Structure 1
Amino acid sequence: MALWRTIGLPSRGTVARCGLQISSSRSLSAAAKQEPVYELRTYTVYPDKMREYLTITAEEFHLRTAHSKPLGFWTAEVGGLNQVVHIWEYESLAHRSTIRANLAGDSEWMSKYVSRVAGMWQQQDNSLMTLLPGTSLALPSGTGVYEIQTVDLRGAGWSGALRNYVRACREDEGVRAVEGTALVGAWKGVLGPANTVVLLWRHRWPDSCVALRGVLEALAEDSSLTPHVRSGHSKLILPHAVSPLQ
């Protein structure tokens, strides 16, 4: 069986057909501005393979980033065990299809990296996201730790509350008082879990996660998202050497 099928990569023919369909749909709405899409990937690695997996990644991941650059690549410290989390930005789904097809045809990438680590993955998950309307990325400088929050919202009618909440995450005096903490990006799910919001924070210190939680829980009622939350999950994640965000 072809390796790209084993690890979940589509065949080059399938990718090409998918890309053609996406391109055709895109041409019908050429007047509309194409917003970037972001792919959130979470891999669970067998515990006894984690060290080897990260070593091979440090040595060979340049083969992957030669095709496209990630926003970040992290390992989970709290909130997930033996996991790596990465986010990739694409111009469109058509652009992603092209990149995936090129990767499937890159013999060096497949032999030096994928064939060596595919057996180390216990589970792979991904979802597609777009930035929340009216927001942009705020890429930090320097080094720190990161927190990724996934919030599952219930029902309808939460759009306005979400806008207020994200605005408070960037402007509220209490949030700004958590030294070294800033919201990097806020996304909504497009493909994958529905009614889901993903928030990425950068902290100077791990303990800032605890301080931030207290501030967010004390937000004014008109900025609180709590009444609309069905469930949520947070992970403290640490940047790997290959990550552009450190």
Structure 2
Amino acid sequence: MIQLRGIFRNVARHAEQCLSVKSRPTPRASISTGPRQQHATFYEFRTYYIQPHLNAAFLKLTSEKIHLRTAHSELVGYWSVEYGGLNQVFHIWKYDSYAQRASVRAALAQDPNWIEQYISKAMPMLSSQDNEVTYLVPWSKIQKPPKDGGVLELTTYQMKPGGPAVWGKAFQIAVGTRTGSGYAHAVGVFHSEFGQLNQVHVLWWYESADQRAAIRHKSHEDARVVAAVRESAAYLVSQKNKLLFPCAFSPIK
């Protein structure tokens, strides 16, 4: 009898514990990787690799016929690569949605002027093409340079996996320290959506390549910049850059 009472007490205690656990609120795990995109706008990065002996001809043809392309969607900028890659052009196109991009591509495929006057002539001049879909990071917007006639540097940072929740704050501080100290003008800061993931691109503007060199030398001696870069570099895998010269028809120069 005593043993039976002990068993009943244990059963009752176990049931009470189960009810207590069920009554507790279920914790919610956060799966957000940082500030999220609040709108559908994205930017397509396109890089064309030109056959070396046709580089000048390609740029001339594009300058003459780019209006056929911009009639369909917005061009943000178009540049030739001067350092960091030869015989390349880099351009950025803005779209309000993936549906809009699909409709633009369909319209271009049916545009006889675009096909006959440009595509049929330009494509044989290329050795390859590459593209990437990017979003502006939530704390950045497109800011045109203070004046025309400069050069732009596209710096690409390959960050550790995990997204902005891991490296976003440190990266924002690093960029903000450079811009806030007057060392550079950030045209835009973008993160990759399709292409190589965990990439962040910063498009910097300088008055000239020589001014960039002088500013870089000076900023490397600034304790504020050094501290911010050191913190951000803890999340960095690799980086690369290109110096870009704007084409005459580029909206951003």
Q: TM-score range by the shorter chain?
A: 0.7 to 0.9
Distance 1:160 1:216, change over 3 A: farther
**Cα distance in 2 between the residues matched to 1:70 and 1:194:** 24
Q: Paired residue for 1:97?
A: 102
Which of 192, 201, 218 aligns to 1:198? It is 201
Query: Letter of the aligned partner of 1:240 in structure 2?
Result: C
Q: How many residues align?
A: 209
Q: Is the 8 A contact 1:169 1:183 kept in 2?
A: no
Corresponding position of 1:147: 153
Percentage of identical aligned residues: 34
Partner of 1:78: 83
Q: Quote the Cα distance in structure 1 between the aligned partners of 2:172 and 2:233.
A: 13
- Give 4+ residue runs of structure 1 displaced > 3 Å after superposition: 211-214
- 1:33 deviation in Å? 4.8
Q: Distance in 1 between matches of 2:238 and 2:211?
A: 22
Aligned to 2:179: 170
- Computing the radius of gyration from Cα coordinates, the structure with the larger value is 2
Give the drift of 1:195. Answer: 0.4
Match of 1:189 in 2: 192
- Letter aligned with residue 114 of structure 1: I
**Structure 1: stretches of 5+ with no match in the other structure:** 1-31
Q: Which residue of 1 aligns with 2:232?
A: 225
Match of 1:48 among 45, 48, 53: 53
Shift of the alpha carbon at 1:209? 2.8
Report matched runs for 1:16-31 at 5 Å.
none
- Rounded to whole Å, the distance in 2 between the matches of 1:216 and 1:235 is 19
Q: Which of 231, 245, 248 is the equivalent residue of 1:238? A: 245
Residues 138 and 58 from structure 1, CA distance in 2 versus in 1: closer, same or farther, beyond 3 angstroms?
Answer: same
Q: Unaligned regions of 5+ residues in structure 2, if any?
A: 1-36
Shift of 1:137: 1.4
Q: Structure 1 53/169 Cα, relative in aligned 2: closer, same or farther at 3 Å? A: same
CA contact (8 A) 1:43 1:123 kept: yes
SS in 1 for 2:118: helix
TM-score by length of 2: 0.78
Equivalents in 1 of 2:240, 2:221: separation in Å?
A: 15
Task: Indicate the SS of the match to 2:133.
Answer: strand
